[in-house]
């Protein structure tokens, strides 16, 4: 136990969560109907949000994938093969791609980037995808977005074989997701589901609110949460949602994926809610070596004392995205996530 006025963080457990306790002067008391802010002058130890550590949970997922790949090799089968297509020299895209290739190699997969300058024509890119589709030695194909303006992203994504579409962007795979059929799952929403499951966050009957309706996160996230066996009641909010704070305050699980730094504030969160922050935003900060710092869509410092569990940025949802991409590549090779 720490001294008065200090916070102590316990060692994370196997699920990647840690309870933090301390002696704040202000604390929250709440029941099913109300939240009451009270003041105390004597030190009282109260729990603050459980930190959901995506680094620890993603490491567990990667270890499982690595074990599956090792079993494949031991049985005489080839390793899963992922080809990532990068067009242009966007620094963020190049960094993401390096991370994907490194992750592939760490779990024993064959990951390679096919890089082209920004002048690559749409026709040439389509021809490349056709060759990869026809290559039986390639299991997964991923085209890194965004693409240069002269290339139609929708046309490119629909050209990828649904059987090799490890991003789960092809309309056929999106249909499988919506209907609950077996198949690929979009990496970021699937990673969030792993965070909830492995952290012991109950979803059955829970009220879930998703901030954002993108095809990459918001819409597939809502679809995963309403699947049988998950059984959440889901509301999707967007820029036209009326009285947004009153909607988000009803959430037992609040997922922020709108791309606006510190958008979710304390008054938008129900005490005890689980808060999942998908956003990664740069804020100028001369005190940092790089001149900026990364923050999420949630005002972490303000929301953490209210939430029951929360993901940090960085180190929360981000690491899960690549981990789930590896699981999708394994599925493309074997037809199984195990």
Task: Decide if 100 is catalytic.
Answer: yes
What secondary structure letter does DSSP report for 137?
A: T
Question: What are φ and ψ of residue 332, in 5° steps?
Answer: -60, -35
Consecutive H or E run containing 265 = none
User: Where are the extended beta strands (E) located within 187-312?
Assistant: 207-211, 233-237, 253-256, 274-277, 281-284, 292-295, 309-310
Decide: 165 and 158 in contact? Cβ < 8 Å.
no
Question: Which residue reads 């009282």 in tokens?
Answer: 44
Q: What's the angle, vertex CA 53, arms to CA 48 and CA 58, rounded to 5? A: 160
Give the active site residue among 100, 164, 270, 327: 100
Distance CA 84, CA 167 (A): 11
C-alpha distances in Å from residue 283, one per residue of 54, 291, 293, 294, 295: 22, 9, 5, 6, 7
Pairing of strands 7-9, 20-22: antiparallel
CA-wise closest residue to 24 among 336, 320, 306, 313:
306
Q: From the candidates 53, 139, 144, 219, which is the catalytic residue?
A: 144
As a whole number of angstroms, the distance between CA 50 and CA 52 comes to 6
Active site residue 144: yes
Give the residue carrying structure tokens 């005489």. 76
Question: CB under 8 Å to 67, separation ≥6 — which residues?
Answer: none
Token code pair at residue 10: 């316990």
8 A C-beta contact, residue 237 and residue 209: yes
Chain mean position to CA 330: 18
Q: Is 124 a catalytic residue?
A: no
Catalytic residue among 139, 167, 252, 297: 167
Verify cis geometry, omega within 30 degrees of 0, for the bond prior to 146: yes
Task: Give me the active site residues, please.
Answer: 100, 144, 167
């Amino acid at each position: 136990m720490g001294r008065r006025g200090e916070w102590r963080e316990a060692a994370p457990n196997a699920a990647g969560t840690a309870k933090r306790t301390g002696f704040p002067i202000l604390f929250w008391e709440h029941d099913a109907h109300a939240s009451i802010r009270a003041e105390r002058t004597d030190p009282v130890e109260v729990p603050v949000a459980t930190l959901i550590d995506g680094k620890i949970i993603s490491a567990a997922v990667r270890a499982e994938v690595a074990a599956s790949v090792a079993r494949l090799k031991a049985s005489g089968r080839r390793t899963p093969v992922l080809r990532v297509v990068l067009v242009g020299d966007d620094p963020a895209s190049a960094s993401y791609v390096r991370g994907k290739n490194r992750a592939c190699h760490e779990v024993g997969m064959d990951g390679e980037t096919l890089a082209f300058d920004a002048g690559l024509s749409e026709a040439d890119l389509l021809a490349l995808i056709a060759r990869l589709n026809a290559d039986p030695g390639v299991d997964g194909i991923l085209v890194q977005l965004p693409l240069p303006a002269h290339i139609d992203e929708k046309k490119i994504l629909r050209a990828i074989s649904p059987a090799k579409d490890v991003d789960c962007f092809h309309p056929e795979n999106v249909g499988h997701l919506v209907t609950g059929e077996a198949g690929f799952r979009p990496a970021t929403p699937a990673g969030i589901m792993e965070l909830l499951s492995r952290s012991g966050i109950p979803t059955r009957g829970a009220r879930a609110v998703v901030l954002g309706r993108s095809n990459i996160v918001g819409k597939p996230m809502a679809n995963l949460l309403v699947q049988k066996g998950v059984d959440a009641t889901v509301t999707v909010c967007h820029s036209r949602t009326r009285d947004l704070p009153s909607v988000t305050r009803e959430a037992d699980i609040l997922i922020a994926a709108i791309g606006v730094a510190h958008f979710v504030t304390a008054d938008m969160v129900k005490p005890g809610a689980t808060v999942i922050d998908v956003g990664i935003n740069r804020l100028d900060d001369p005190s940092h070596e790089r001149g900026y710092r990364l923050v999420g869509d949630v005002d972490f410092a303000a929301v953490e004392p209210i939430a029951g569990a929360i993901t940090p940025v960085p180190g929360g949802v981000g690491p899960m995205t690549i981990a789930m991409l590896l699981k999708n590549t394994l599925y493309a090779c074997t037809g199984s996530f195990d």
